[in-house]
């Protein structure tokens, strides 16, 4: 029998990686929810798993936490098998599920106390941890209120406090800021960055690419249960194109502009968004930019188009996502 009680601060495990997923498959009947998935999360790293709805993110998280058994392939959490060494993994892992699994009829404090008891905290230590987590969730003044009176953001903050109560080395958060107000979102972002500073590893899923960009060291893009791209936010954006030229045009059909510009060397792809075209440019040297931009502008004006506004900017992760999956992250 593995020991689950916590008497002292847990030591950082010696395994090389916080998470290793290798050739992971999950089938529900004949449906392949996860197909040959491979990725690793280093210690102290924030890794974001991004994908459209139904792409297999929650299924993957469930296999990492040991809730669900892989059909084949391997998952390790700090070198441990989450199914066979579930008690040890439970101590190392803090889980913030998509649906907050709090006891609505209990107070914030009782919810935390319940969790502390599960982990075998002794009385004094328990009180200290609960106070620390109420503080972290910025809910000290609502400690004695029932959870059912809380807003979505407050519940999510409490859920994170509960997941961190036993001081885990890996925290996974399924859509941590979905539907929360901006103030709570900022508090949650601060926690996530603080966890990293403390050497903890974080695995998060999100539909907000702005969130992934702001927080993640590396991102894996998952589609139909398979990882189709992986890298730092900067590397993924560079793969898409070095920069994007936004042109607001009147006087001509934007579809015609797209056809014209797609033939220009150095133009990688073109999106039409309302009354503007977003022209993705391949990696440019400074000299090339000087020649490519006038070529593009001349093509537009020669076709009768009037350029009302133009701006050169970095590509967004949304654009990377769209180009890789053919759909928006929230479609």
Ligand X SMILES: Nc1ncnc2c1ncn2[C@@H]1O[C@H](COP(=O)(O)OP(=O)(O)OP(=O)(O)O)[C@@H](O)[C@H]1O
In the complex, which residues of this chain contact ligand X (CB under 6 A)? 28, 31, 33, 51, 53-59
Whose Cβ is closer to ligand X: residue 57's or residue 90's?
Answer: 57
Minimum distance of ligand X from residue 57's CB (angstroms): 4
CB of 146 to ligand X, least distance (A): 28
Q: How far is the CB of 58 from ligand X (least distance, A)?
A: 3
The minimum distance between CB 87 and ligand X, in angstroms, equals: 24
Closest CB to ligand X among residues 274, 331: 331
**Can you read off the two tokens belonging to residue 81?**
């098998």
Is 200 within 8 Å of 194 (Cβ atoms)? Answer: no
Residues 6+ apart with CB under 8 A from 31: none
Q: Based on CB atoms, which residue is closest to ligand X, 220 or 266?
A: 220
Query: CA 173, CA 204: separation in Å to the nearest integer?
Result: 5
- Contact yes or no for 49/222 (Cβ under 8 A): yes
Burial degree of 69 (CB within 10 A; 0-12, 13-18, 19+): exposed
CB-nearer residue toward ligand X: 23 or 298? 23
- The minimum distance between CB 162 and ligand X, in angstroms, equals 21
Distance of closest approach, residue 297 Cβ to ligand X, in angstroms: 41
Say which DSSP state 149 is in: G
From CA 327, how far away is CA 51, in angstroms rounded?
Answer: 10
Residue among 70 and 305 whose Cβ is closer to ligand X = 70
Residue 267, SS3 per DSSP? strand
Q: Which ranges of 14-98 would DSSP assign to H, the alpha helix?
A: 57-65, 86-92
178: Cα within 13 Å, side-chain hemisphere: 14
């Amino acid at each position: 029998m593995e020991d689950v009680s916590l008497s002292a601060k847990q030591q950082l495990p010696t395994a090389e990686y916080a998470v290793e997923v290798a050739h992971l498959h999950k089938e529900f009947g004949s449906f392949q929810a996860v197909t040959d998935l491979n990725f690793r999360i280093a210690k102290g790293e924030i890794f974001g798993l991004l994908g459209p709805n139904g792409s297999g993110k929650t299924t993957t998280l469930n296999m990492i936490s040991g809730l669900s058994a892989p059909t084949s392939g391997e998952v390790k959490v700090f070198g441990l098998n989450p199914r066979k060494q579930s008690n040890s993994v439970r101590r190392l892992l803090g889980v913030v599920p998509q649906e907050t699994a709090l006891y609505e009829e209990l107070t914030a404090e009782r919810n935390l106390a319940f969790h502390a008891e599960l982990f075998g905290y002794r009385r004094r230590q328990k009180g200290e941890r609960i106070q620390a987590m109420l503080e972290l969730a910025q809910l000290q003044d609502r400690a004695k209120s029932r959870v059912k009176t809380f807003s979505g953001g407050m519940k999510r903050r409490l859920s994170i406090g509960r997941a961190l109560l036993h001081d885990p080395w890996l925290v996974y958060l399924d859509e941590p800021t979905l539907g929360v107000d901006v103030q709570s979102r900022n508090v949650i972002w601060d926690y996530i960055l603080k966890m990293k500073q403390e050497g903890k590893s974080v695995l998060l899923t999100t539909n907000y690419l702005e969130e992934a960009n702001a927080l993640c060291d590396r991102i894996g893009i998952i589609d139909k249960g398979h990882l189709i791209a992986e890298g730092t936010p900067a590397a993924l954006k560079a793969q898409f194109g070095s920069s994007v030229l936004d042109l607001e045009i009147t006087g001509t059909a934007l579809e015609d502009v797209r056809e014209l510009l797609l033939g220009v060397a150095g133009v990688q792809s073109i999106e039409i968004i309302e009354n503007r075209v977003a022209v993705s440019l391949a990696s440019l040297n400074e000299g090339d930019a000087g020649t490519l931009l006038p070529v593009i502008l001349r093509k537009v004006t020669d076709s009768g188009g009037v350029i009302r506004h133009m701006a050169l900017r970095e590509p967004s992760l949304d654009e990377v996502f769209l180009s890789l999956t053919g759909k928006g992250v929230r479609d």
